[in-house]
Structure formats: C-alpha cells, structure tokens
Amino acid sequence: MENKTINQENENVVVFEKVTVRFGTHTALEDISLEIKKGLFITVVGPNGGGKTTFLKLILGLLEPTLGEVKVFGEKPLKNLTQAIGYVPQIKTFDRSFPALPIELVATGLTGNWIGILSKEQKRLALEALEQVGATNLAKKPLGKLSGGELQRIFLARSIIRKPRLLLLDEPASGIDVAGEMDFNNILEEYKKRQNATIIMITHDWESAYHHSDYVLLLNRVKICYDEPKKAFSEKWLRIAFGHLGHAHEMIFGVKNND
C-alpha cells in the first residue's frame, strides 16, 4: 500500500453501473453510472429526498439496487468490507437514552460490535481517535449529554479508528458551528492525506463542498453531474438539480467563479 503505482492511483474505489433504486412505486435513484477513483474527496449535493442517503446506503450494502450493480473495491458490498469502510450516519437515528460513554461508541468502530469491558489497547486506540478529532475532553461524558456537534465528532472518531480506506459521511456538518465545521473539514483532509483514503461526504453546505472536494456529485434522483467543483457549481447544473434555487449559487460563488 505504501509504494503506490500510477495504476493503483487510478483504481476505482466505487463503481455504479446503471443503478436504479425503487421503494414501491417511488424511484429514489435512476440509472446512475459512476466511477469514483481512489484518493479523492467527493461531496454529494442535492435537494432533500434527492437520493443522497440512498446512494451511501448502496455503497454500505444496507440497500440493494433494484436494477444495475454496485461494486466497492471491486466487490459487491456486504462482503467483508467492514474494515475498509468507515461510516458516519445522518445523526437523527441516535437514541439518547442508551447508557454509554463516547469512548465505548468509538471502540465499536474497532470490533463492529458493542464491547462490555474495553481492553487497555482498545481504550488507547479510542483515545487516540478522539484526539485526532479534537474530542479528548469528551471521552467520559455520558453520550446522552453531548451536543449535536460533539456527537458528530464522536461518530467521526468512531469511523476513523479502524483506518478505513473509504470514509462515508452523511451530513456530518449539520449541527456544527462555522469554526467547528472548518475544523471538521481540515480533520477530513488531513485524514485523507495520511491514509491515502477516499472520502464521500453528503453535505448541504455548498461552500465547504466547493472548497474542500476534488469532485462534486450533484444528485436529484438522476445523476445531474459528476465533475470538479468549479464546473459542478455552475448555474446550469444547479438549476437542473435544485430547480429555481439555482440562482443562489451567484450569491455564494459569483465572485469566486469570476476569478
């Protein structure tokens, strides 16, 4: 893994081939074909209900495509990819009444299972991961008492503790303040460099997508575009993806695009 050749650099981490997902009669994703190369920071942008979470769940193997095929590291998902993939879920699923400490949640990233009593080594690794996301101070605070942003850091620590080659994040920045978000993005970029990892992040924050990602996937049921941020955040594509909201891009990117 250390001496990477040009070939490996071009390795496809995720491949979608004519993928369609239907829930009953509702089509969440339609005819998506896509190749994501190794070592890139991808952001996925699109309106609510545009199929972004569905897209991630296909990669995780939590959902099967109705039509077409998904391959991750050249294999069908759900086949021993646990160690290679880290996942930060959309936060709403979390149950605050469950008695647990952040350090325990982080350690589940190691074993893929809940742990009764942490070993010394597991504790050390969990603390190390917490340190990487700047959350050492939260290690022993009850999970139920953390703020949304603090919790997101814990989930991030949990996802990087096994040093995955592919990191999937579902709106990790929701509930994080501006300074915290810049910090969060820097942590991700640093992780990507250190592990030569691929990152796929869903976000509603166009500005951070614009600045931090190598490629942007605009998704609204169909693949609208998969391109560099400068091209993806053009008025044309945004208008197709978001309808009338597309003009908002001028407010955010107008100046930068004219550079």
Partner 1 sequence: MIDMLSMTFMQRALIAGLLVGFLGSYFGVFIVQRKMSFMGDGLAHAAFGGIALGLLLETEPMWIAVPFTLIISIGITLIRDKTSLEMDTSIGIFFALSVALGIIFISLRKHYTTDAFTYMFGSILSVNTSDLIISSIIVVISIVLSFKFWRKWAYATFDPELAKADKLNTKFDDYLLSALISISIVISIKLVGIVLIASFLVIPAASARLLSSTFFKMTILSVIFGLISSLVGLFLSYFLDLPSGATIILIQAIIFFIAMSLKK
Ligand X SMILES: Nc1ncnc2c1ncn2[C@@H]1O[C@H](COP(=O)(O)OP(=O)(O)OP(=O)(O)O)[C@@H](O)[C@H]1O
Residue ranges that bind partner 1, judged by CB under 8 A: 60-62, 78, 80, 82, 87, 89, 93-95, 97-101, 104-105, 108, 111-117, 142
Please give the backbone phi and psi of residue 199, each rounded to the nearest 5 degrees, phi first: -120, 130
For the bound state, the minimum distance from the C-beta of residue 69 to partner 1, rounded and expressed in Å, comes to: 20
- Told to check if 22 binds ligand X by CB under 6 A, we report no
Sign of CA dihedral 249, 252, 254, 259: negative
Q: Are strands 67-72 and 12-23 parallel, antiparallel or unpaired?
A: antiparallel
- With CB under 5 to 8 Å by kind, the binding choice for 50 among ligand X, partner 1, Mg ion, none is ligand X
- With CB under 5 to 8 Å by kind, the binding choice for 23 among ligand X, partner 1, Mg ion, none is ligand X
- How many degrees, rounded to 5, is the angle at CA 152 between CA 143 and CA 128? 80
User: How far is Cα 68 from Cα 55, in angstroms, rounded to an integer?
Assistant: 13
- With CB under 5 to 8 Å by kind, the binding choice for 95 among Mg ion, partner 1, ligand X, none is partner 1
Kindly report the number of other CB atoms within 10 A of residue 88's CB atom. 23
Q: Which is nearer to partner 1, 2 or 95 (CB)?
A: 95
Q: Which is nearer to partner 1, 101 or 252 (CB)?
A: 101
Stretch that binds ligand X, among 21-29, 119-127, 140-148, 153-161 (CB under 6 A): 21-29
Binding residues for ligand X, total number by CB under 6 A: 11
Residue with tokens 């001496």: 3
Residue spans of beta strands (DSSP E) within the chain: 12-23, 26-37, 41-45, 67-72, 85-88, 166-170, 198-202, 215-220, 222-227
For the bound state, the minimum distance from the C-beta of residue 90 to ligand X, rounded and expressed in Å, comes to: 6
- Told to check if 53 binds Mg ion by CB under 5 A, we report yes
CB 175 within 8 A of CB 134: no
- Told to check if 53 binds ligand X by CB under 6 A, we report yes
Sheet holding 26-37, edge to edge: 26-37, 12-23, 67-72
Question: Of the candidates 49, 142, 148, 243, which one interacts with ligand X according to CB under 6 A?
Answer: 49
**Amino acid at residue number 228:** E
- Told to check if 23 binds ligand X by CB under 6 A, we report yes
Per CB under 6 A, residues contacting ligand X are 23, 26, 28, 46, 48-54
**Applying CB under 5 A, which residues contact Mg ion?**
53
